[in-house]
């Protein structure tokens, strides 16, 4: 059953790459959101 093991390895690496893509997209989004939160908090505190 080497083909199944090979498929599982490919699937795992594929999922890892998707996860990395998602993280690469999410990190800047999160920075923008946290920046907006800081601005909003600052505006309300004044």
Instruction: Delimit the domains of the chain by residue range.
Output: 1-46
pLDDT at 15: 80
The tens digit of pLDDT for each residue in 1-46 reads 567 777 777 777 878 888 888 888 888 888 888 999 999 999 988 7
Distance of CA 6 to the CA centre of its chain: 26
pLDDT at 40: 93
CA 5 to CA 13: how far, in whole Å? 12
pLDDT at 2: 60
pTM for the model: 0.43
Residue whose C-alpha is closest to residue 19's, from 31, 27, 29: 27
pLDDT at 9: 75
């Amino acid at each position: 059953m080497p083909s199944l093991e090979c498929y599982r390895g490919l699937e795992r690496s594929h999922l890892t790459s998707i996860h990395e893509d998602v993280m690469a997209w999410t990190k800047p989004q999160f920075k923008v959101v946290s920046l907006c939160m800081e601005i909003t908090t600052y505006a309300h505190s004044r």
